[in-house]
Each structure stands twice: as C-alpha cells, then as structure tokens.
Structure 1
C-alpha cells in the first residue's frame, strides 16, 4: 500500500487489498472512498469485500466509481460535498491514485489557489499540469 497525503484531511492510494483495510484503520483514517469501478480489470479485489472489511474495522465506506480518463463535471459535483461531509481523515483509492487526486484537485480549486493544488499533488507524486485549464475553470465557478 502506498498512501500519499494530499492535504490534512485527504490521502490517496493506488488499489488496496482487503488486508490493507486493517492498516488503514490503524493509521487513524475514518472514511474509505473507492473511486474505482468494480471489475474495472481482471483480478482487482471486489468492492463488496473491501466494503465489508471497512465495516469490520469501523470505517465509513463511500463507493463513488469514476471512469478512468473521463472525469466529468458531474463526478466533481458528487465528490465535492462527499469529501466535505465525510468523517476525517479520508483515504481514497483507485487504480493508481490519479483519479482520486484529480477529483480532489477539481473540487478544491473552488476554494484554493490552483498553484497550491498543483504543488500538493506534485509533492504526492501526481503531475496535474494537464489539468490547469479545468482547475482554472473550477476556480472561476466560485466567483
């Protein structure tokens, strides 16, 4: 498991296993978010099994699947209030962590400077420079 902190309330990770859930709980996370569709690729753990492990370890579970490479404005509209209302800290995962990071970045751009968002993503190992036009669009939606 490769957890990468984006800010004080949200960390992301590439695909986790059922066994990882106990460690996520032990590390103090309160909410586990899955942004990867079930059965996206052969061999990935079933979301129902991860959800059951989350419940067993006292984690809130949110299943918000998003298609890889096709994050829509509606996906951001669904992610933003969920992440604001979730019990913190939150750990979100997808195949590589990029989808979760993009969802966070686009929703955070409504309240934060896009340069800070790009810097935080970069420090976590995600290059979102290709997302600059959408970040600026989201930032403009708040004015």
Structure 2
C-alpha cells in the first residue's frame, strides 16, 4: 500500500510511486501528481514518462518539477506555487523519500503566505523535518 503522508488538507507527499499507485491515488481523491524526482536518479524506478502516461490515462493531471542534488531554485518554487494554485483537488508530490517534495511544498506554501511555524508543524506531523529549508521559508514568507 502506498505511503501518502498528508502535508495539508489538499497536499500529500510520498516516496517513489509505482504505476499501480496512480490508481490508488485517484481513488484517494488525488487529481494532480507532481513528480519531484529527476529521470535517471534511480534507473529501476518508473521514470517520468511512464508515470505521466499512467496518470493521464487515469484522468489525472501530471506535472514534473525535478529537484536534483543542487537544491531548490526560485523557478522550482514558483512552479510548485502554480501547481498548487492550479490543482483541481488533492495533489500528490513524490520523490525518492518524500523529503524533497515536502521541502518544495513548504517553500511554496511560505511563498503563498502560509505561516512558517504552521508549515513546520504540519511537516513534522507527517514525519518530515523542514528545518534545513526553514531560513528560506522565513525569507519567502516575508516577501
């Protein structure tokens, strides 16, 4: 069974999903899947094109915002803000462990005006520590 962890009422984070997890996501109310994993990071994992095809076949929206080892850019944060604003229902963001997806959600949420303390608590409740991106969250929240 997939490990979808709620970050908010409409956003879930997950470790790498498999093709059958797309159907589970749909039955769980997810309408948008966001892939935060670069292709080729783990060659045995389903790559972006395969997940996208499965998502589209299931009637779900699919967005790729890969986060590599170089970290987060404002372009990626802005892309997540747009994904969150454009989602027609719940969103599932995934990467290798769910951490990068959680970090990106936290940064986008802060940029959208959410309180960094509330973001931090929501992430902790889901099992994620966002302290590595907390200074960036604080900066985005004050813009």
Q: Give the shorter-chain TM-score range.
A: over 0.9
Q: Which runs of 5+ in 1 are unaligned?
A: none
Partner of 2:141: 139
* Cα displacement (A) at 1:112: 1.3
Match of 1:120 among 119, 122, 137: 122
| Counterpart for residue 17 of structure 1 | 18
Asked if 1:65 is matched to 2:88, the reply is no
Tell me the CA shift for residue 69 of structure 1: 5.4
The alpha-carbon distance between structure 1 residues 6 and 69, as it changes in their structure 2 partners (threshold 3 A), is farther
Relative to the length of structure 1, the TM-score reads 0.93
Aligned equivalents of 1:24, 1:9: Cα separation in 2? 12
TM-score normalised to structure 2 length: 0.93
Hey, what does 2:92 align to over in structure 1?
91
Aligned to 2:109: 108
Given that 1:38 and 1:46 are in contact with CA atoms closer than 8 Å, whether structure 2 keeps it comes out as yes
> Which residue number corresponds to residue 52 of structure 2?
51
Runs of 4+ residues deviating >2 angstroms: none
Matched, 1:38 2:39: yes
Structure 2 unmatched runs, 5+: none
The alignment covers a number of residue pairs equal to 141
In structure 1, C-alpha distance between the alignment counterparts of 2:18 and 2:30, rounded to whole Å: 16
- Could you tell which deviates more after superposition, 64-73 or 116-125? 64-73
Root-mean-square deviation over aligned CA pairs: 1.2
Structure 1 counterpart SS, 2:78:
helix
C-alpha deviations, 1:3-31, integer Å up to 9, x for none? 00000111110000011111111111111
